[in-house]
Structure 1
Amino acid sequence: MASAARKSSASPKAPPLPILRTISRIRDGLSAFQRRLVPGHIALLDISTIGYLTQAVAAAAELGIADALADGPKQPPELARALNVDEAALRRLMRFLISFDVFGQRGDGGYRLTRVSESLRGDAEVSLRDLFLLLGSDLHRKHWSGLADCVRTGHWRWPEVEGMPFFEYAEAHPEVGQVFDAAMTSVSTLAVEPLQAAYDFGRYGSIVDIGGGRGSLLVDILRRHPSMRGTIFEMPRIAEGLAEELSAPGLTGRLTVESGDFFEAVPKGGDAYLLKHIIHDWSDEAAERILRTVRASMETEARLLIIDIVLPEHRRPHMGKLLDLEMLINTDGGRERTQTEFGNLLSRSGFTLTKVTPTAAPDSVIEAHPAW
């Protein structure tokens, strides 16, 4: 069975949502207080470390430092030999990362994993290694460097810079597609346990997961509900060989894989249709096309489940506000949306928004039913 599916089923329990919200408010309040307390130029300089830290963590992911420390602490010379890197340069990288508790250092000088760097291991229950490989890549930095141009024009730069839209580029450059697919799988795995804790997927007899990737969420749902059936609907590049990859005891005859274009048609007969991290990739016009295609395959009693970030109305930091800029840079009109914007989009597409269920992850479950 796929490694993503194994990890998702064993994901650690998420803290209760009220506790996470309280911690976030306290953290954001303290950060805001610090920024107001120090001179403005010092606060701005402190903000500059965020980009450097991301690149340093990405370098650690690329070098495999967390994997090398998985069997226990190592002295700097030993770790440098294991990684085949320059010891002095490694010490400088680790000194920076240790200051943010990404790694730890014992009294005898040995480097060790922390709770943070455990998630950089490739075999961790919830691994973000592949996500950081994407965030630290030359291609990702290249396009974020064009943010000012995107703001000037209101449009993305992918076709202009690369000669084709992103998903076509990923098809034409398999090495890019592989990095992107692996990063999205790691993000999907991160959200599995919070989604399961917040929403009752067991109320449905069958689920069609549209754009379901490598199947981490749907497989986890099926394993928890033995009588349920599921279908992963993906583009041919991802769907090829996926059924065999996901074959495992208990899933035979219950999980199918189909390929196609969700702008044209999707499988019929599902009790629920799942769109996880799909709608935010598209403009309102394109999203309406997708939703109307889904609606055409749904029975009146079926339900639509959109799993995406719902942008909050507050002015505090939120992951969705960052990802909204990611959508501006890398998609043709994609964006994160508020609850009101989701409601309007669904209404124009033949749905009525039923409820929004927040989770301990940044995602929410937006449930809707056919309006006609």
Structure 2
Amino acid sequence: MPTTEQALLGNLVRQVMGDALGFLNAAALRVAVRLDIAEHLASGPRTPTELARLSDTDPGHLARVLRFLAMRGVFREDEQGAYQLTPAAELLRAESPMSVRSMVLLLTDEMYWLPAGRLEETVQTGTTVFNEIFGGPLFDVLAREPHRADIFHTAIADLSVTEQDPIAASYDFPDTGTVVDVGGGPGGLLHAVLLRNPGLRGVLFEQESVLTQHRLGDPAIAGRWEPVAGDFFGRIPTGGDIYVLKRVLHDWDDRDSLRILRATRQAMANEAKLLIIDAVIPSGNDPHPSKLYDLAMMTNFDGKERTRAEFDTLLAAANLRAVRVIPTPGTLSIVEAVPAPPAAPSAPDEAEIR
């Protein structure tokens, strides 16, 4: 009989070995989504042979992938050897109200996969290898390769569907005024805010190519919003009472994030507020999704998730001041900021934001 110490050591070895092979979790999940396994099981259980016939795959190999995913709670094998949907597998269906299908396809795409395989180089050099692999920064690649842009923008828009209403409900918006959503994508969050606050007007500030795909055609908010095309590194629309940056700053390093914040501050009146909606990394060793997402930002964008202290430093450099951090039901938090008072100490220069 192994001693307690030996048993604990064995568990640790298995944990570390499992982590080392963790890339196979993503690979197997991608196989299931690409082969539409969840869709094939929507009408009831099927055997690996039946699923292989529907997906034009080898039944033996498919069975092994399904067995692995069932171990992780994605699908379940019954006593007859057939597989069926689980609550986790339901999320892989395109018609699920909380579908993550498009996000799985994005996060397991080579745009994420290949840079992650060279994470050591990123850590050594302090910059992503994405540009070397794909011939430029991610957003430049999306601009010139429509098929990659479709994968990316579809996934981000679908992710927003799961977030936007809880976020809109987490903040006490004013009864009247104008909300400027800076880099707001197709406008999902702005739509949720305007629906919940009928006295507000909205501005969706985005690149022209993104504005053409907006999701603000709801008659319930007709006449209460306008699109404005532009670049958040340049001139941002003035006249807003609330400015929003949702999932924007985490895509950029501190230098570029400071440029965005300074452009936003220049557009803001002294009474305006800024809502930065991003993950806020908690202190300590406890698990938190932001710590995983931070690595994804580092490998693909030279971006980062930030702690409260890091947000404070960035905001101070842009002549802004964080007032509070408001949690939302998901991973994201709302960092509410206001213009810093004139008597505030001089802000750090860009050399300190590196």
Please name the residue that 2:350 is paired with.
Answer: none
Question: Could you say if the C-alpha distance between residues 239 and 40 of structure 1 is closer, same or farther in structure 2, counting changes exceeding 3 Å?
Answer: same
- The code of the aligned residue for 1:335 comes to K
User: Do the aligned residues in 2 keep the contact of 1:310 with 1:320 (CA within 8 Å)?
Assistant: yes
Q: Distance in 2 between matches of 1:326 and 1:249?
A: 38
The answer to whether the aligner puts 1:145 opposite 2:114 as a matched pair is no
- The code of the aligned residue for 1:79 comes to L
For residue 363 of structure 1, the aligned residue among 332, 349, 352 is 332
Which range is displaced more, 284-293 or 106-115? Answer: 106-115
Instruction: Give the superposition deviation at 1:279.
Output: 0.7
For residue 270 of structure 1, the aligned residue among 226, 236, 240 is 240
For residue 27 of structure 2, the aligned residue among 46, 55, 58 is 55
- The code of the aligned residue for 1:252 comes to A
User: Do the aligned residues in 2 keep the contact of 1:66 with 1:113 (CA within 8 Å)?
Assistant: yes
Structure 1 unpaired stretches of 5+: 1-32
Instruction: Give the superposition deviation at 1:197.
Output: 4.4
Q: Which runs of 4+ in 1 moved over 6 A?
A: none
The answer to whether the aligner puts 1:126 opposite 2:89 as a matched pair is no
Instruction: Give the superposition deviation at 1:359.
Output: 2.2
Find the structure with the greater CA-based Rg: 2
Q: Distance in 2 between matches of 1:236 and 1:122?
A: 28
Equivalent residues in 2 for 1:82-231 (5 A)? 82-201=54-173, 203=175, 205-231=177-203
Instruction: Give the superposition deviation at 1:357.
Output: 0.8
Q: How many residues align?
A: 337
- The code of the aligned residue for 1:311 comes to I
Please name the residue that 2:231 is paired with.
Answer: 261
For residue 45 of structure 1, the aligned residue among 5, 17, 23 is 17
Q: Distance in 1 between matches of 2:7 and 2:279?
A: 27
Question: Could you say if the C-alpha distance between residues 178 and 34 of structure 1 is closer, same or farther in structure 2, counting changes exceeding 3 Å?
Answer: farther
The answer to whether the aligner puts 1:336 opposite 2:305 as a matched pair is yes
Instruction: Give the superposition deviation at 1:100.
Output: 0.9
- The code of the aligned residue for 2:254 comes to D
Equivalent residues in 2 for 1:270-349 (5 A)? 270-332=240-302, 334-349=303-318
Q: Distance in 1 between matches of 2:308 and 2:264?
A: 20
The answer to whether the aligner puts 1:350 opposite 2:322 as a matched pair is no
Give deviations 1:116-169, integer Å, cap 9, x for gaps.
111111122121111111122223211111100011111112233332211111
Please name the residue that 1:65 is paired with.
Answer: 37
User: Do the aligned residues in 2 keep the contact of 1:282 with 1:331 (CA within 8 Å)?
Assistant: yes
Q: Distance in 2 between matches of 1:39 and 1:68?
A: 36
Instruction: Give the superposition deviation at 1:37.
Output: 5.2
Q: Distance in 2 between matches of 1:219 and 1:211?
A: 14
User: Do the aligned residues in 1 keep the contact of 2:175 with 2:199 (CA within 8 Å)?
Assistant: no
Query: Aligned with 1:306: secondary structure?
Result: strand
Query: Aligned with 1:226: secondary structure?
Result: coil
Q: Distance in 1 between matches of 2:152 and 2:37?
A: 21
User: Do the aligned residues in 1 keep the contact of 2:168 with 2:196 (CA within 8 Å)?
Assistant: no
Q: Distance in 2 between matches of 1:216 and 1:364?
A: 17
Q: Distance in 1 between matches of 2:174 and 2:42?
A: 36
User: Do the aligned residues in 1 keep the contact of 2:115 with 2:128 (CA within 8 Å)?
Assistant: no
Instruction: Give the superposition deviation at 1:46.
Output: 2.3
RMSD between aligned alpha carbons?
Answer: 2.3
Q: Distance in 1 between matches of 2:82 and 2:216?
A: 40
User: Do the aligned residues in 1 keep the contact of 2:282 with 2:307 (CA within 8 Å)?
Assistant: yes
Higher relative contact order (CA 8 A, sep 6+): 1
Please name the residue that 1:252 is paired with.
Answer: 222
Give deviations 1:185-209, integer Å, cap 9, x for gaps.
2332232344244333465633111
Question: Could you say if the C-alpha distance between residues 259 and 49 of structure 1 is closer, same or farther in structure 2, counting changes exceeding 3 Å?
Answer: same
Give deviations 1:221-242, integer Å, cap 9, x for gaps.
2222233222221122211242
Aligned sequence identity (%): 38
User: Do the aligned residues in 1 keep the contact of 2:247 with 2:277 (CA within 8 Å)?
Assistant: yes
Give deviations 1:251-281, integer Å, cap 9, x for gaps.
2112322221001112222221110111111
Question: Could you say if the C-alpha distance between residues 72 and 217 of structure 1 is closer, same or farther in structure 2, counting changes exceeding 3 Å?
Answer: farther
